[in-house]
Structure 1
Amino acid sequence: MALGWKLVIDSHDAIALAGFWAAALEYTPEDQNALIEHLVGAGQLPPAAVVEHEGRRYFRGMAAIRHPDDPFDAFTGIGQGRRLLFQEVPEEKTVKNRLHIDVHRGSGSLDDLVARLEGLGATRVNEVDQGPAGRWWVLRDPQGNEFCCS
């Protein structure tokens, strides 16, 4: 049986980076308000372990997004399919990512996709053109993580 997985991405501001990637991929931010309320109310989670952002409560230092068509647990809000979890870490990013996300444009043009992502806060690094083998852009998200668009 195949194993479930999620991709965990280190960040300095998990909520902000989750917001960027939710908009970039058209994913849904996970809503864990009911779980957090239950845990705080039962005394199992101290209020200091929770932050509020734009009317939603988050576990301090973490935020996740999920594919809108994939199943999720209604109580916990946790996705049970394609999912990205952003966690805050104290150290700075110092080298190129060893793992990265490739964003595929669907039916639109590559130039339109790159422009939309730049509007969300991405920056262009370089264009790769391998002729008939393909053309794509390497970009950085707002916290410096490299990703590709094709």
Structure 2
Amino acid sequence: MALNWKLAIDSTNAPALADFWASALEYEVEDPGPLIEQLLAAGHIGEEAATEHRGRKVFRGYAAIRHPEDPFDATSGVGRGRRLLFQDVPEEKSGKNRLHLDVHSEPGGLDDLVARLEGLGATRVREVDRGPAGHWWVMQDPEGNEFCAA
């Protein structure tokens, strides 16, 4: 049986990076608001554990996105399939990623994909053209994490 997974990504502003990647991948930002309200009301967490982002309560230092077609828990907002979790860490990114995402365009749509990603805040790093073996752009998200647009 295949396992569900999430990829955890260190960040300095988890909600903002989740917004970028949700737009880039056409995923949905998870809404933990109902769970936070329940935990606050029961006294299980204090107000310092939550903050607001775009008018919704979120856990301070965390945000996640999920594939829109995958199942999710209605109370917690947590996806039960393909997910990315962003978690704030105190240190800045240093060095090259050891793991990265490849974002694929429709056939013949690489230029449009790269332009859309730049419009969301990504930057081009370098173009790679291997002829018949492939053509892609190495890019960085707004916090400098490398990924490929192919």
Superposition TM-score tier, normalisation by shorter sequence: over 0.9
2:75 corresponds to 1:75: yes
- What is residue 30 of structure 2 aligned with on the other side? 30
TM-superposed CA distance for 1:21, in Å, is 0.2
How many pairs align? 150
Distance in structure 2 (CA, Å) of the matches to 1:75 and 1:23: 23
Question: What's the counterpart of residue 94 of structure 1?
Answer: 94
Q: Could you tell me how far apart the structure 2 residues matched to 1:70 and 1:95 are? A: 33
Which residue of 2 is the match for residue 43 of structure 1? 43
Residue ranges of structure 1 left out of the alignment (5+ in a row): none
TM-score, length of structure 1 as denominator length:
0.98
| CA positional deviation for 1:139 | 0.1
Task: After TM superposition, give the deviation of residue 73 of structure 1 in Å.
Answer: 0.5
2:5 partner SS: coil
What TM-score, normalized to structure 2?
A: 0.98
> How big is the alpha-carbon RMSD for the aligned residues of Structure 1 and Structure 2?
0.9
Unpaired runs of 5+ residues, structure 2, are none
Task: Report the CA distance shift for 1:108/1:45 in structure 2 as closer, same or farther (over 3 A).
Answer: farther
Is the Cα contact below 8 Å between 2:140 and 2:146 reproduced in 1? yes
What is the identity percentage for the equivalent residue pairs of Structure 1 and Structure 2? 69
Q: CA deviation at 1:3?
A: 2.5
User: C-alpha distance in 2, partners of 1:107/1:54?
Assistant: 34
Instruction: Name the SS of the counterpart of 1:6 in structure 2.
Output: strand
